Amino acid sequence: MDAQDFNIVFVGAGNVATHLASACARKGCRIVQVYSRTEASAQTLAHGLGCPYTTDLSEVSPEADLYVVSVKDSALEEVVEALSRYGNPDALYVHTAGSMPMEVWRGKVSRCGVFYPMQSFSKQRAVDFSEVPFFVEADSQDGVSRLKKLAGLLGSKVYEASSEQRKYLHIAAVFASNFTNHMYAVCEHLLAAQGLPFGSMLPLIDETARKVHELSPVEAQTGPARRNDRNVIDRHLDMLKGEPELALIYDLLSQDIHAYESKKQQ
């Protein structure tokens, strides 16, 4: 199966859809149409892909053999309901949500699945899809094979994962990416209050990320919480008295880090 065998409608024009549609087009897939309820977003993405767009799901093209839905979780079921009435009834329908089950398609389309690229996407940053792991699921082996083929065109890391497994992938990714990034925001806040640049932390951030390519996260852990150094921990908590929310986060994380270390020693 070649890239030309994929005729795709992208439903959504946000971060994930923008990167995914652009990558598919670069690999030679035919992008039949883009849908977004926001005309500016639909027009921008469609213009970049050289395809038509619509803001009305009743006008979605029936010529696709694959419909890729990348919308907010809260809007997914409504979109699925409408899309199933107007798209090609013989096509494969997938969503890209990490935390939503394949079951949202059940009883609405004849072929369905999930195509989940596990990465943090921002429109203003390029994504190297050769490094992005794809997790696929479908209601038939033919569907799984088709999604694996598409993922293989885009990158080299392709896995099968059930809806249950994918829920845990998603929550793990929240800890690894979203919460970690928020810690950077806290770091920037603390430094800015003292007139210090966040950029001074970048070498430390980069080295911490590099280490877990070679060591397990528990083995790579350093700092006062790992050692349970109460002198340092209590001093830091005292410094955070004026920001009790941060003090609570610091205390809870310190306790959990030490708990992981204790388990490792058992």
pLDDT digits (tens, 9 = 90+) for 44-72: 999 999 999 999 999 999 999 999 999 99
Could you tell me how many residues make up the chain? Answer: 266
Looking at residue 264, its pLDDT comes to: 81
Same domain, 126 and 175: no
Same domain, 64 and 22: yes
51 and 32 in contact (C-beta within 8 Å)?
yes
3-class secondary-structure state, position 207: helix
Q: What is the mean pLDDT of residues 94-121?
A: 94
3 and 31 in contact (C-beta within 8 Å)?
no
How many angstroms separate the Cα of 107 from the Cα of each of 8, 38, 80, 86, 166?
Answer: 22, 28, 11, 15, 21
Burial of 262 (0-12, 13-18, 19+ CB in 10 A): exposed
- The model's confidence at residue 121, banded by pLDDT at 50, 70 and 90, is confident
Q: Write down which residue in 96, 130, 161 finishes a domain.
A: 161
Looking at residue 1, its pLDDT comes to: 65
Burial of 197 (0-12, 13-18, 19+ CB in 10 A): exposed
Average pLDDT value over all residues in the chain? 94
Total domain count, the chain:
2
Same domain, 226 and 207: yes
Residue that is written with structure tokens 């010529």 in the block: 63
Same domain, 204 and 181: yes
H or E stretch including 166? helix 163-173
Q: Write down which residue in 137, 161, 185 finishes a domain.
A: 161
Q: What is the mean pLDDT of residues 100-113?
A: 95
Looking at residue 138, its pLDDT comes to: 97
Same domain, 148 and 187: no
Compute how many other C-beta atoms are within 10 angstroms of the C-beta atom of residue 18.
Answer: 23
Per-residue pLDDT of 137-192, as tens digits, reads: 999 999 999 999 999 999 888 999 999 999 999 899 999 999 999 999 999 999 99
CA 151 to chain centre: 15
pLDDT > 80? residue 266 = no
Same domain, 196 and 222: yes
Looking at residue 35, its pLDDT comes to: 97
Look up the domain containing 37 and give its range: 3-161
Residue 92: give its domain's CATH number.
3.40.50.720
Residue 174: give its domain's CATH number.
1.10.1040.20
Looking at residue 189, its pLDDT comes to: 98
Same domain, 176 and 61: no
CA-to-CA distance for 126 and 19, rounded, in angstroms?
8
Q: At what angle do helices 244-265 and 230-239 cross, to 10 degrees?
A: 160
Same domain, 252 and 178: yes
Residue that is written with structure tokens 């997938």 in the block: 94
pLDDT > 70? residue 23 = yes
3 and 63 in contact (C-beta within 8 Å)?
no
